[in-house]
Structure 1
Protein backbone atom coordinates (compact mmCIF):
# COMPACT_ATOMS: atom_id res chain seq x y z
CA UNK A 1 0.00 0.00 0.00
CA UNK A 2 2.69 2.56 0.85
CA UNK A 3 4.47 1.66 -2.41
CA UNK A 4 1.27 2.33 -4.34
CA UNK A 5 0.86 5.81 -2.81
CA UNK A 6 4.53 6.56 -3.49
CA UNK A 7 4.16 5.64 -7.16
CA UNK A 8 0.93 7.63 -7.34
CA UNK A 9 2.67 10.73 -6.02
CA UNK A 10 5.50 10.27 -8.49
CA UNK A 11 3.05 9.93 -11.36
CA UNK A 12 1.19 13.09 -10.25
CA UNK A 13 4.48 14.98 -10.01
CA UNK A 14 5.52 13.91 -13.51
CA UNK A 15 2.13 14.80 -14.96
CA UNK A 16 2.27 18.21 -13.24
CA UNK A 17 5.72 18.89 -14.69
CA UNK A 18 4.54 17.91 -18.15
CA UNK A 19 1.48 20.16 -17.87
CA UNK A 20 3.66 23.02 -16.59
CA UNK A 21 6.13 22.65 -19.47
CA UNK A 22 3.23 22.52 -21.91
CA UNK A 23 1.71 25.66 -20.46
CA UNK A 24 5.08 27.46 -20.62
CA UNK A 25 5.55 26.42 -24.24
CA UNK A 26 2.00 27.43 -25.04
CA UNK A 27 2.47 30.89 -23.47
CA UNK A 28 5.79 31.50 -25.24
CA UNK A 29 4.59 30.76 -28.75
CA UNK A 30 3.46 33.58 -31.02
CA UNK A 31 -0.27 34.12 -30.74
CA UNK A 32 -2.62 36.77 -32.02
CA UNK A 33 -4.88 36.55 -28.98
CA UNK A 34 -4.57 35.49 -25.35
CA UNK A 35 -6.73 32.81 -23.82
CA UNK A 36 -9.60 33.97 -21.63
CA UNK A 37 -7.84 32.95 -18.36
CA UNK A 38 -4.76 34.94 -19.40
CA UNK A 39 -6.94 37.88 -20.37
CA UNK A 40 -8.77 37.68 -17.04
CA UNK A 41 -5.50 37.59 -15.05
CA UNK A 42 -3.95 40.45 -17.02
CA UNK A 43 -7.08 42.62 -16.81
CA UNK A 44 -7.41 41.98 -13.08
CA UNK A 45 -3.71 42.74 -12.49
CA UNK A 46 -3.92 45.89 -14.58
CA UNK A 47 -6.99 47.10 -12.72
CA UNK A 48 -5.32 46.51 -9.34
CA UNK A 49 -2.14 48.28 -10.50
CA UNK A 50 -4.21 51.24 -11.70
CA UNK A 51 -6.10 51.34 -8.43
CA UNK A 52 -2.83 51.44 -6.46
CA UNK A 53 -0.75 53.62 -8.79
CA UNK A 54 -3.18 56.51 -9.18
CA UNK A 55 -3.19 57.51 -5.50
CA UNK A 56 0.56 56.91 -5.36
CA UNK A 57 1.16 59.15 -8.39
CA UNK A 58 -1.20 61.76 -6.97
CA UNK A 59 0.63 61.85 -3.62
CA UNK A 60 4.02 61.92 -5.35
CA UNK A 61 2.79 64.76 -7.57
CA UNK A 62 1.66 66.73 -4.51
CA UNK A 63 5.08 66.42 -2.89
CA UNK A 64 6.76 67.24 -6.21
CA UNK A 65 4.62 70.36 -6.59
CA UNK A 66 5.46 71.42 -3.06
CA UNK A 67 9.16 70.95 -3.81
CA UNK A 68 8.80 72.96 -7.05
CA UNK A 69 7.03 75.74 -5.13
CA UNK A 70 9.86 75.87 -2.60
CA UNK A 71 12.46 76.00 -5.38
CA UNK A 72 10.47 78.68 -7.18
CA UNK A 73 10.24 80.72 -3.99
CA UNK A 74 14.01 80.49 -3.44
CA UNK A 75 14.76 81.38 -7.06
CA UNK A 76 12.32 84.29 -6.80
CA UNK A 77 14.19 85.67 -3.82
CA UNK A 78 17.51 85.35 -5.66
CA UNK A 79 16.09 87.05 -8.77
CA UNK A 80 14.67 89.91 -6.70
CA UNK A 81 18.06 90.38 -5.05
CA UNK A 82 19.70 90.37 -8.50
CA UNK A 83 17.18 92.90 -9.75
CA UNK A 84 17.94 95.15 -6.79
CA UNK A 85 21.67 94.85 -7.54
CA UNK A 86 21.02 95.50 -11.24
CA UNK A 87 19.03 98.63 -10.46
CA UNK A 88 21.84 99.86 -8.23
CA UNK A 89 24.47 99.11 -10.87
CA UNK A 90 22.37 100.80 -13.54
CA UNK A 91 22.13 103.88 -11.37
CA UNK A 92 25.90 103.86 -10.79
CA UNK A 93 26.57 103.43 -14.51
CA UNK A 94 24.29 106.33 -15.36
CA UNK A 95 25.97 108.46 -12.71
CA UNK A 96 29.44 107.57 -13.99
CA UNK A 97 28.37 108.25 -17.58
CA UNK A 98 27.08 111.64 -16.57
CA UNK A 99 30.32 112.47 -14.73
CA UNK A 100 32.33 111.23 -17.72
CA UNK A 101 30.39 113.41 -20.16
CA UNK A 102 30.83 116.45 -17.91
CA UNK A 103 34.57 115.85 -17.54
CA UNK A 104 34.97 115.43 -21.28
CA UNK A 105 33.17 118.72 -21.86
CA UNK A 106 35.41 120.45 -19.33
CA UNK A 107 38.54 119.02 -21.01
CA UNK A 108 37.07 119.62 -24.47
CA UNK A 109 37.59 115.97 -25.46
CA UNK A 110 35.46 115.03 -28.42
CA UNK A 111 36.47 111.39 -28.88
CA UNK A 112 37.26 108.54 -26.54
CA UNK A 113 38.98 105.18 -26.99
CA UNK A 114 35.91 103.51 -25.50
CA UNK A 115 33.38 105.01 -27.95
CA UNK A 116 31.98 102.55 -30.46
CA UNK A 117 28.94 101.68 -32.58
CA UNK A 118 27.31 98.25 -32.80
CA UNK A 119 25.95 96.23 -35.73
CA UNK A 120 23.84 93.19 -34.87
CA UNK A 121 24.77 89.96 -36.66
CA UNK A 122 23.81 86.28 -36.72
CA UNK A 123 26.08 83.29 -37.29
CA UNK A 124 25.07 81.54 -40.52
CA UNK A 125 28.02 79.17 -40.91
CA UNK A 126 31.08 77.67 -39.26
CA UNK A 127 34.08 75.70 -40.44
CA UNK A 128 33.21 71.96 -40.26
CA UNK A 129 36.21 71.04 -38.11
CA UNK A 130 35.94 73.11 -34.96
CA UNK A 131 39.42 71.97 -33.86
CA UNK A 132 41.31 73.16 -36.92
CA UNK A 133 43.95 75.88 -36.54
CA UNK A 134 41.80 78.72 -37.86
CA UNK A 135 38.50 79.04 -36.02
CA UNK A 136 36.18 80.83 -38.45
CA UNK A 137 32.53 81.89 -38.40
CA UNK A 138 30.36 83.33 -41.16
CA UNK A 139 27.94 86.11 -40.19
CA UNK A 140 25.09 87.68 -42.16
CA UNK A 141 26.45 91.25 -42.19
CA UNK A 142 28.94 92.68 -44.69
CA UNK A 143 30.31 95.87 -46.20
CA UNK A 144 26.84 97.06 -47.19
CA UNK A 145 26.03 97.08 -43.45
CA UNK A 146 29.22 98.93 -42.49
CA UNK A 147 31.20 95.85 -41.45
CA UNK A 148 34.89 96.08 -42.32
CA UNK A 149 38.03 94.02 -41.85
CA UNK A 150 39.60 93.95 -38.34
CA UNK A 151 36.47 95.18 -36.55
CA UNK A 152 35.95 93.64 -33.11
CA UNK A 153 33.19 91.05 -32.68
CA UNK A 154 31.53 90.44 -29.31
CA UNK A 155 29.06 87.86 -28.04
CA UNK A 156 25.53 88.54 -26.83
CA UNK A 157 26.86 88.96 -23.27
CA UNK A 158 29.34 91.64 -24.36
CA UNK A 159 32.53 89.54 -24.31
CA UNK A 160 35.10 89.78 -27.09
CA UNK A 161 35.20 86.63 -29.25
CA UNK A 162 37.35 87.74 -32.20
CA UNK A 163 37.62 90.07 -35.17
CA UNK A 164 36.42 90.37 -38.76
CA UNK A 165 38.96 88.56 -40.94
CA UNK A 166 37.44 89.66 -44.24
CA UNK A 167 34.18 91.18 -45.40
CA UNK A 168 32.02 90.77 -48.50
CA UNK A 169 28.97 92.83 -49.49
CA UNK A 170 26.46 90.73 -47.51
CA UNK A 171 28.53 88.37 -45.34
CA UNK A 172 31.72 88.49 -43.30
CA UNK A 173 34.20 85.96 -41.93
CA UNK A 174 35.01 86.20 -38.21
CA UNK A 175 38.25 84.82 -36.76
CA UNK A 176 37.87 83.72 -33.14
CA UNK A 177 40.34 84.45 -30.35
CA UNK A 178 40.83 80.69 -30.07
CA UNK A 179 42.45 80.66 -33.50
CA UNK A 180 46.08 79.51 -33.53
CA UNK A 181 47.00 82.17 -36.10
CA UNK A 182 50.19 83.87 -34.76
CA UNK A 183 49.15 87.18 -36.33
CA UNK A 184 45.93 87.20 -34.30
CA UNK A 185 47.14 89.52 -31.50
CA UNK A 186 45.07 91.89 -29.36
CA UNK A 187 46.35 94.55 -26.98
CA UNK A 188 44.77 94.00 -23.55
CA UNK A 189 44.90 95.58 -20.10
CA UNK A 190 44.34 94.05 -16.67
CA UNK A 191 41.57 95.56 -14.52
CA UNK A 192 41.66 98.68 -16.70
CA UNK A 193 45.11 99.60 -15.34
CA UNK A 194 48.37 100.36 -17.09
CA UNK A 195 49.42 96.70 -16.81
CA UNK A 196 49.13 95.40 -20.36
CA UNK A 197 49.96 92.45 -22.54
CA UNK A 198 48.93 90.74 -25.77
CA UNK A 199 46.20 88.15 -26.18
CA UNK A 200 48.01 85.71 -28.42
CA UNK A 201 47.37 81.99 -28.57
CA UNK A 202 44.95 79.52 -27.04
CA UNK A 203 45.48 76.46 -24.86
CA UNK A 204 43.01 73.92 -26.29
CA UNK A 205 43.52 71.42 -23.46
CA UNK A 206 42.69 73.99 -20.77
CA UNK A 207 40.30 76.07 -22.88
CA UNK A 208 42.15 79.26 -21.89
CA UNK A 209 43.48 82.28 -23.77
CA UNK A 210 47.13 83.28 -23.37
CA UNK A 211 47.91 86.85 -22.27
CA UNK A 212 51.60 87.23 -23.10
CA UNK A 213 54.35 89.84 -22.74
CA UNK A 214 53.30 91.06 -19.29
CA UNK A 215 56.35 92.80 -17.70
CA UNK A 216 57.89 90.61 -15.01
CA UNK A 217 57.83 93.39 -12.43
CA UNK A 218 54.05 93.78 -12.59
CA UNK A 219 51.84 92.02 -10.04
CA UNK A 220 49.16 89.92 -11.68
CA UNK A 221 46.69 87.91 -9.60
CA UNK A 222 44.02 85.30 -10.12
CA UNK A 223 40.44 86.57 -10.76
CA UNK A 224 41.61 89.89 -12.22
CA UNK A 225 39.62 90.99 -15.27
CA UNK A 226 41.10 91.41 -18.73
CA UNK A 227 39.74 93.79 -21.37
CA UNK A 228 40.88 95.55 -24.53
CA UNK A 229 43.28 98.43 -23.97
CA UNK A 230 42.17 100.49 -26.97
CA UNK A 231 45.82 101.03 -27.88
CA UNK A 232 46.03 98.45 -30.62
CA UNK A 233 44.73 100.96 -33.12
CA UNK A 234 41.60 98.98 -34.03
CA UNK A 235 39.50 97.85 -31.08
CA UNK A 236 37.71 100.19 -28.67
CA UNK A 237 38.79 100.29 -25.04
CA UNK A 238 37.25 98.26 -22.19
CA UNK A 239 35.66 95.38 -24.11
CA UNK A 240 35.62 92.46 -21.70
CA UNK A 241 37.80 89.49 -22.71
CA UNK A 242 37.94 87.20 -19.68
CA UNK A 243 39.21 86.44 -16.19
CA UNK A 244 42.73 85.43 -15.16
CA UNK A 245 42.93 81.95 -13.66
CA UNK A 246 46.71 81.45 -13.49
CA UNK A 247 50.01 83.26 -14.09
CA UNK A 248 53.47 81.86 -14.78
CA UNK A 249 56.84 83.42 -15.71
CA UNK A 250 58.16 83.00 -19.25
CA UNK A 251 61.37 81.14 -20.02
CA UNK A 252 63.27 84.36 -20.65
CA UNK A 253 62.53 85.62 -17.12
CA UNK A 254 61.60 89.07 -18.44
CA UNK A 255 57.89 88.64 -18.99
CA UNK A 256 54.89 86.68 -17.65
CA UNK A 257 52.05 84.80 -19.30
CA UNK A 258 48.57 84.81 -17.81
CA UNK A 259 45.96 82.16 -18.57
CA UNK A 260 42.60 83.81 -19.19
CA UNK A 261 39.20 82.13 -19.06
CA UNK A 262 37.16 83.64 -21.94
CA UNK A 263 33.99 85.51 -21.06
CA UNK A 264 32.18 83.78 -23.93
CA UNK A 265 31.76 80.15 -24.96
CA UNK A 266 33.42 79.93 -28.38
CA UNK A 267 31.40 76.83 -29.28
CA UNK A 268 27.96 78.23 -28.47
CA UNK A 269 27.69 81.35 -30.60
CA UNK A 270 24.58 82.43 -32.49
CA UNK A 271 23.85 86.13 -32.07
CA UNK A 272 26.86 88.46 -32.24
CA UNK A 273 27.65 92.16 -32.42
CA UNK A 274 30.23 93.80 -34.66
CA UNK A 275 31.89 96.77 -32.97
CA UNK A 276 33.00 99.81 -34.93
CA UNK A 277 35.43 102.13 -33.19
CA UNK A 278 34.24 105.74 -33.33
CA UNK A 279 37.62 107.41 -32.77
CA UNK A 280 39.64 107.78 -35.94
CA UNK A 281 41.98 104.84 -36.31
CA UNK A 282 45.71 105.49 -36.76
CA UNK A 283 47.30 104.72 -40.08
CA UNK A 284 48.67 101.16 -40.09
CA UNK A 285 51.72 102.31 -42.04
CA UNK A 286 52.53 104.88 -39.36
CA UNK A 287 52.11 102.24 -36.66
CA UNK A 288 54.42 99.84 -38.49
CA UNK A 289 57.06 102.57 -38.86
CA UNK A 290 56.75 103.35 -35.16
CA UNK A 291 57.31 99.71 -34.26
CA UNK A 292 60.41 99.55 -36.50
CA UNK A 293 61.84 102.64 -34.79
CA UNK A 294 61.22 101.09 -31.38
CA UNK A 295 63.09 98.01 -32.49
Structure 2
Protein backbone atom coordinates (compact mmCIF):
# COMPACT_ATOMS: atom_id res chain seq x y z
CA UNK A 1 0.00 0.00 0.00
CA UNK A 2 2.80 2.36 0.78
CA UNK A 3 4.53 1.52 -2.52
CA UNK A 4 1.29 2.23 -4.44
CA UNK A 5 0.96 5.63 -2.78
CA UNK A 6 4.53 6.52 -3.64
CA UNK A 7 3.94 5.44 -7.25
CA UNK A 8 0.83 7.62 -7.48
CA UNK A 9 2.73 10.61 -6.11
CA UNK A 10 5.50 10.03 -8.63
CA UNK A 11 2.94 10.00 -11.49
CA UNK A 12 1.44 13.28 -10.36
CA UNK A 13 4.89 14.78 -10.15
CA UNK A 14 5.67 13.43 -13.58
CA UNK A 15 2.48 14.91 -15.15
CA UNK A 16 3.17 18.23 -13.49
CA UNK A 17 6.68 18.27 -14.92
CA UNK A 18 5.38 17.47 -18.42
CA UNK A 19 2.78 20.22 -18.18
CA UNK A 20 5.42 22.67 -17.04
CA UNK A 21 7.66 21.76 -19.95
CA UNK A 22 4.79 22.16 -22.44
CA UNK A 23 3.91 25.52 -20.93
CA UNK A 24 7.50 26.69 -21.29
CA UNK A 25 7.55 25.49 -24.91
CA UNK A 26 4.29 27.27 -25.71
CA UNK A 27 5.56 30.44 -24.08
CA UNK A 28 8.70 30.17 -26.12
CA UNK A 29 6.71 29.92 -29.31
CA UNK A 30 4.50 32.84 -28.32
CA UNK A 31 7.26 35.19 -27.22
CA UNK A 32 9.75 34.31 -29.89
CA UNK A 33 10.03 36.04 -33.23
CA UNK A 34 8.12 34.03 -35.82
CA UNK A 35 7.18 34.50 -39.41
CA UNK A 36 4.02 32.43 -39.18
CA UNK A 37 1.50 31.31 -36.61
CA UNK A 38 1.02 27.77 -35.45
CA UNK A 39 -2.04 25.90 -36.59
CA UNK A 40 -3.83 26.21 -33.22
CA UNK A 41 -3.28 29.98 -33.33
CA UNK A 42 -4.46 30.13 -36.94
CA UNK A 43 -7.52 28.11 -36.09
CA UNK A 44 -8.32 30.26 -33.08
CA UNK A 45 -7.82 33.53 -35.02
CA UNK A 46 -9.88 32.39 -38.03
CA UNK A 47 -12.69 31.17 -35.80
CA UNK A 48 -12.73 34.40 -33.85
CA UNK A 49 -12.69 36.52 -37.04
CA UNK A 50 -15.53 34.51 -38.58
CA UNK A 51 -17.69 34.87 -35.48
CA UNK A 52 -16.94 38.59 -35.21
CA UNK A 53 -17.74 39.13 -38.90
CA UNK A 54 -20.96 37.12 -38.53
CA UNK A 55 -22.25 39.40 -35.78
CA UNK A 56 -20.58 42.67 -36.74
CA UNK A 57 -22.19 43.19 -40.18
CA UNK A 58 -25.83 42.83 -39.05
CA UNK A 59 -25.08 45.05 -36.09
CA UNK A 60 -23.55 47.60 -38.48
CA UNK A 61 -26.62 47.44 -40.73
CA UNK A 62 -28.95 47.99 -37.79
CA UNK A 63 -26.84 50.87 -36.48
CA UNK A 64 -26.74 52.40 -39.98
CA UNK A 65 -30.52 52.03 -40.31
CA UNK A 66 -31.13 53.93 -37.09
CA UNK A 67 -28.62 56.55 -38.16
CA UNK A 68 -30.38 56.94 -41.54
CA UNK A 69 -33.74 57.28 -39.81
CA UNK A 70 -32.26 59.95 -37.59
CA UNK A 71 -30.84 61.75 -40.63
CA UNK A 72 -34.22 61.58 -42.44
CA UNK A 73 -35.94 63.12 -39.44
CA UNK A 74 -33.32 65.87 -39.33
CA UNK A 75 -33.71 66.51 -43.07
CA UNK A 76 -37.51 66.65 -42.68
CA UNK A 77 -37.16 69.27 -39.95
CA UNK A 78 -34.70 71.29 -42.03
CA UNK A 79 -37.02 71.03 -45.07
CA UNK A 80 -39.95 72.25 -42.98
CA UNK A 81 -37.92 75.23 -41.74
CA UNK A 82 -36.81 76.03 -45.30
CA UNK A 83 -40.43 75.96 -46.51
CA UNK A 84 -41.43 78.36 -43.74
CA UNK A 85 -38.55 80.68 -44.62
CA UNK A 86 -39.41 80.48 -48.33
CA UNK A 87 -43.08 81.31 -47.67
CA UNK A 88 -42.08 84.19 -45.40
CA UNK A 89 -39.66 85.48 -48.02
CA UNK A 90 -42.37 85.28 -50.71
CA UNK A 91 -44.81 87.21 -48.50
CA UNK A 92 -42.22 89.87 -47.73
CA UNK A 93 -41.29 90.14 -51.42
CA UNK A 94 -44.95 90.51 -52.40
CA UNK A 95 -45.52 93.10 -49.69
CA UNK A 96 -42.39 94.96 -50.78
CA UNK A 97 -43.50 94.97 -54.43
CA UNK A 98 -46.98 96.18 -53.42
CA UNK A 99 -45.59 98.98 -51.25
CA UNK A 100 -43.07 99.91 -53.95
CA UNK A 101 -45.77 100.09 -56.63
CA UNK A 102 -48.04 102.07 -54.32
CA UNK A 103 -45.19 104.46 -53.50
CA UNK A 104 -44.46 104.96 -57.18
CA UNK A 105 -48.13 105.74 -57.84
CA UNK A 106 -48.22 108.26 -54.99
CA UNK A 107 -45.07 109.91 -56.33
CA UNK A 108 -46.74 110.29 -59.72
CA UNK A 109 -49.91 111.57 -58.06
CA UNK A 110 -47.96 114.18 -56.09
CA UNK A 111 -46.02 115.25 -59.15
CA UNK A 112 -49.25 115.54 -61.13
CA UNK A 113 -51.07 117.62 -58.51
CA UNK A 114 -48.10 119.97 -58.15
CA UNK A 115 -47.96 120.45 -61.93
CA UNK A 116 -51.71 121.07 -62.12
CA UNK A 117 -51.60 123.63 -59.32
CA UNK A 118 -49.00 125.54 -61.30
CA UNK A 119 -51.42 125.70 -64.23
CA UNK A 120 -54.71 126.29 -62.43
CA UNK A 121 -55.69 127.37 -58.96
CA UNK A 122 -57.40 124.03 -58.21
CA UNK A 123 -57.15 121.56 -55.36
CA UNK A 124 -56.84 117.83 -56.12
CA UNK A 125 -57.60 115.64 -53.08
CA UNK A 126 -56.69 112.02 -53.72
CA UNK A 127 -59.58 109.55 -53.60
CA UNK A 128 -59.16 105.79 -53.37
CA UNK A 129 -61.41 103.71 -55.61
CA UNK A 130 -63.66 101.49 -53.46
CA UNK A 131 -65.56 99.63 -56.18
CA UNK A 132 -66.18 99.65 -59.94
CA UNK A 133 -69.28 98.71 -61.91
CA UNK A 134 -68.79 98.04 -65.63
CA UNK A 135 -72.37 97.25 -66.65
CA UNK A 136 -73.24 99.06 -69.91
CA UNK A 137 -76.28 100.68 -68.29
CA UNK A 138 -74.47 101.60 -65.06
CA UNK A 139 -70.83 102.36 -65.73
CA UNK A 140 -69.85 103.91 -62.39
CA UNK A 141 -67.32 103.67 -59.60
CA UNK A 142 -67.29 104.56 -55.91
CA UNK A 143 -64.58 106.60 -54.17
CA UNK A 144 -63.83 106.99 -50.45
CA UNK A 145 -64.48 110.75 -50.30
CA UNK A 146 -67.92 112.12 -49.42
CA UNK A 147 -69.81 115.12 -48.13
CA UNK A 148 -67.62 115.31 -45.04
CA UNK A 149 -64.68 115.93 -47.38
CA UNK A 150 -66.48 118.69 -49.27
CA UNK A 151 -67.55 116.57 -52.25
CA UNK A 152 -70.54 117.92 -54.19
CA UNK A 153 -72.62 116.82 -57.19
CA UNK A 154 -71.14 117.29 -60.67
CA UNK A 155 -67.59 117.79 -59.44
CA UNK A 156 -65.11 116.50 -62.01
CA UNK A 157 -63.05 113.41 -61.29
CA UNK A 158 -59.78 112.86 -63.11
CA UNK A 159 -56.83 110.49 -63.28
CA UNK A 160 -53.25 111.39 -64.09
CA UNK A 161 -54.07 110.76 -67.76
CA UNK A 162 -57.25 112.81 -68.02
CA UNK A 163 -60.95 113.32 -67.26
CA UNK A 164 -62.76 110.26 -65.92
CA UNK A 165 -66.26 111.45 -65.07
CA UNK A 166 -68.37 113.48 -62.67
CA UNK A 167 -69.79 112.99 -59.18
CA UNK A 168 -73.38 111.72 -59.55
CA UNK A 169 -74.21 110.74 -55.95
CA UNK A 170 -72.80 111.85 -52.60
CA UNK A 171 -73.05 110.31 -49.15
CA UNK A 172 -71.23 111.29 -45.99
CA UNK A 173 -68.20 109.06 -46.55
CA UNK A 174 -68.34 107.92 -50.20
CA UNK A 175 -69.34 109.25 -53.61
CA UNK A 176 -70.42 107.69 -56.90
CA UNK A 177 -68.66 108.73 -60.09
CA UNK A 178 -70.47 108.45 -63.41
CA UNK A 179 -67.87 107.67 -66.08
CA UNK A 180 -67.62 109.33 -69.49
CA UNK A 181 -68.43 105.96 -71.01
CA UNK A 182 -72.04 106.67 -69.90
CA UNK A 183 -72.20 109.81 -72.03
CA UNK A 184 -75.15 109.73 -74.45
CA UNK A 185 -76.76 112.84 -75.90
CA UNK A 186 -80.07 111.00 -76.21
CA UNK A 187 -80.11 109.85 -72.55
CA UNK A 188 -81.18 112.54 -70.06
CA UNK A 189 -79.63 110.51 -67.21
CA UNK A 190 -76.19 110.33 -68.78
CA UNK A 191 -73.18 112.45 -67.96
CA UNK A 192 -73.57 116.12 -69.02
CA UNK A 193 -71.94 117.11 -72.35
CA UNK A 194 -68.51 118.71 -72.19
CA UNK A 195 -67.73 122.05 -73.78
CA UNK A 196 -64.30 121.41 -75.30
CA UNK A 197 -61.49 123.10 -77.16
CA UNK A 198 -58.01 122.26 -78.47
CA UNK A 199 -54.96 122.75 -76.28
CA UNK A 200 -52.90 125.75 -77.50
CA UNK A 201 -55.78 126.66 -79.88
CA UNK A 202 -58.25 127.69 -77.19
CA UNK A 203 -59.36 130.92 -78.89
CA UNK A 204 -59.89 129.34 -82.30
CA UNK A 205 -61.61 126.01 -81.64
CA UNK A 206 -64.80 124.85 -79.98
CA UNK A 207 -67.02 121.75 -79.87
CA UNK A 208 -69.31 119.69 -77.62
CA UNK A 209 -68.37 116.18 -76.51
CA UNK A 210 -71.83 114.62 -76.30
CA UNK A 211 -71.52 110.85 -76.62
CA UNK A 212 -69.33 107.80 -76.24
CA UNK A 213 -69.31 104.96 -78.78
CA UNK A 214 -69.34 101.67 -76.85
CA UNK A 215 -68.13 99.66 -79.85
CA UNK A 216 -65.18 101.82 -80.89
CA UNK A 217 -64.38 103.16 -77.40
CA UNK A 218 -64.26 106.70 -78.79
CA UNK A 219 -65.79 110.01 -77.73
CA UNK A 220 -67.70 112.14 -80.27
CA UNK A 221 -66.97 115.87 -80.35
CA UNK A 222 -69.85 117.45 -82.31
CA UNK A 223 -70.92 120.95 -83.32
CA UNK A 224 -67.44 122.01 -84.43
CA UNK A 225 -67.89 125.07 -86.66
CA UNK A 226 -66.63 124.66 -90.18
CA UNK A 227 -63.18 126.17 -90.51
CA UNK A 228 -62.14 125.46 -86.92
CA UNK A 229 -58.52 124.22 -87.00
CA UNK A 230 -59.27 120.89 -85.28
CA UNK A 231 -56.92 118.26 -86.70
CA UNK A 232 -55.75 114.73 -86.06
CA UNK A 233 -53.35 114.53 -83.12
CA UNK A 234 -54.75 117.59 -81.33
CA UNK A 235 -55.21 117.34 -77.56
CA UNK A 236 -58.78 118.12 -76.53
CA UNK A 237 -59.37 119.82 -73.17
CA UNK A 238 -62.42 121.23 -71.41
CA UNK A 239 -63.04 124.90 -72.15
CA UNK A 240 -64.75 125.70 -68.84
CA UNK A 241 -67.86 127.07 -70.58
CA UNK A 242 -71.06 126.06 -68.86
CA UNK A 243 -69.61 125.79 -65.37
CA UNK A 244 -69.89 122.00 -64.97
CA UNK A 245 -66.38 121.02 -66.02
CA UNK A 246 -63.38 123.13 -64.93
CA UNK A 247 -61.22 124.66 -67.60
CA UNK A 248 -58.17 122.72 -68.80
CA UNK A 249 -59.20 119.11 -68.03
CA UNK A 250 -57.50 116.78 -70.53
CA UNK A 251 -60.11 114.71 -72.38
CA UNK A 252 -58.30 112.91 -75.20
CA UNK A 253 -56.59 113.03 -78.57
CA UNK A 254 -58.21 113.61 -81.99
CA UNK A 255 -58.13 110.45 -84.11
CA UNK A 256 -60.00 111.85 -87.11
CA UNK A 257 -62.28 114.69 -88.22
CA UNK A 258 -65.26 114.37 -90.55
CA UNK A 259 -67.70 116.90 -91.96
CA UNK A 260 -71.27 116.71 -90.66
CA UNK A 261 -74.32 115.65 -92.61
CA UNK A 262 -75.26 119.12 -93.87
CA UNK A 263 -71.74 120.48 -94.11
CA UNK A 264 -72.36 123.14 -91.47
CA UNK A 265 -70.39 121.51 -88.64
CA UNK A 266 -67.74 118.85 -88.20
CA UNK A 267 -67.35 115.91 -85.84
CA UNK A 268 -64.07 114.85 -84.27
CA UNK A 269 -63.42 111.29 -83.09
CA UNK A 270 -61.61 111.50 -79.74
CA UNK A 271 -59.58 108.75 -78.11
CA UNK A 272 -60.07 109.17 -74.33
CA UNK A 273 -56.90 110.02 -72.44
CA UNK A 274 -58.02 108.26 -69.25
CA UNK A 275 -58.36 104.87 -70.92
CA UNK A 276 -60.97 103.72 -68.33
CA UNK A 277 -58.65 101.31 -66.64
CA UNK A 278 -58.59 99.59 -63.24
CA UNK A 279 -57.81 102.70 -61.23
CA UNK A 280 -56.52 102.60 -57.66
CA UNK A 281 -56.53 106.36 -56.98
CA UNK A 282 -58.31 109.26 -58.63
CA UNK A 283 -58.57 113.03 -57.99
CA UNK A 284 -61.60 115.18 -57.34
CA UNK A 285 -61.17 118.66 -58.79
CA UNK A 286 -61.87 121.46 -56.32
CA UNK A 287 -62.12 124.84 -57.98
CA UNK A 288 -62.42 128.01 -55.93
CA UNK A 289 -66.17 128.16 -56.60
CA UNK A 290 -66.71 124.46 -55.67
CA UNK A 291 -64.63 124.73 -52.50
CA UNK A 292 -66.86 127.42 -51.06
TM (normalized to structure 2)?
0.54
Q: Does 2:146 match 1:142?
A: yes
Q: Rg larger in 1 or in 2? A: 2
Structure 1 residues 280 and 205, CA gap change in structure 2 (3 angstroms): closer
Q: Does 2:211 match 1:201?
A: yes
Aligned residue for 2:247, secondary structure, equals: coil
Say whether the 8 Å CA contact 1:235–1:277 is kept in structure 2: no
Aligned residue for 1:116, secondary structure, equals: coil
Structure 1 residues 172 and 280, CA gap change in structure 2 (3 angstroms): closer
1:235 CA displacement = 2.3
Q: Deviations over 1:165-205 (max 9, x none)?
A: 12111111101111144352111111241211111111122
Q: Does 2:239 match 1:236?
A: no
1:164 CA displacement = 0.5
Aligned residue for 2:148, secondary structure, equals: helix
Q: Which residue of 2 aligns with 1:218?
A: 228
Say whether the 8 Å CA contact 1:133–1:180 is kept in structure 2: no
Q: Which residue of 1 aligns with 2:162?
A: 159
Say whether the 8 Å CA contact 2:206–2:228 is kept in structure 1: no
1:273 CA displacement = 0.4
Aligned residue for 1:230, secondary structure, equals: coil
Q: Which residue of 2 aligns with 1:267?
A: 277
Cα RMSD, aligned residues only: 2.3
1:115 CA displacement = 2.4
Alignment partners' CA distance in 1, 2:242 and 2:137: 23
Q: Which residue of 1 aligns with 2:171?
A: 168
Aligned residue for 2:128, secondary structure, equals: strand
Alignment partners' CA distance in 1, 2:267 and 2:137: 21
Say whether the 8 Å CA contact 2:232–2:254 is kept in structure 1: yes
Say whether the 8 Å CA contact 1:122–1:139 is kept in structure 2: yes
Say whether the 8 Å CA contact 1:116–1:236 is kept in structure 2: no
Q: Could you tell me which runs of 5 or more consecutive residues in structure 2 were left unpaired when the two chains were aligned.
A: 1-111
2:194 to 160, 166, 186: 186
Say whether the 8 Å CA contact 1:121–1:140 is kept in structure 2: yes
Structure 1 residues 133 and 251, CA gap change in structure 2 (3 angstroms): farther
Say whether the 8 Å CA contact 2:259–2:267 is kept in structure 1: yes
Say whether the 8 Å CA contact 1:158–1:239 is kept in structure 2: no
Say whether the 8 Å CA contact 1:200–1:212 is kept in structure 2: yes
1:133 CA displacement = 2.9
Alignment partners' CA distance in 2, 1:224 and 1:116: 24
1:267 CA displacement = 3.1
Alignment partners' CA distance in 1, 2:177 and 2:290: 22
Q: Which residue of 2 aligns with 1:245?
A: 255
Q: How many residues align?
A: 170
Q: Which residue of 2 aligns with 1:26?
A: none
Alignment partners' CA distance in 1, 2:278 and 2:268: 24
Q: Could you tell me which runs of 5 or more consecutive residues in structure 1 were left unpaired when the two chains were aligned.
A: 1-89, 101-113, 282-295
Alignment partners' CA distance in 1, 2:288 and 2:252: 23
Alignment partners' CA distance in 1, 2:197 and 2:150: 28
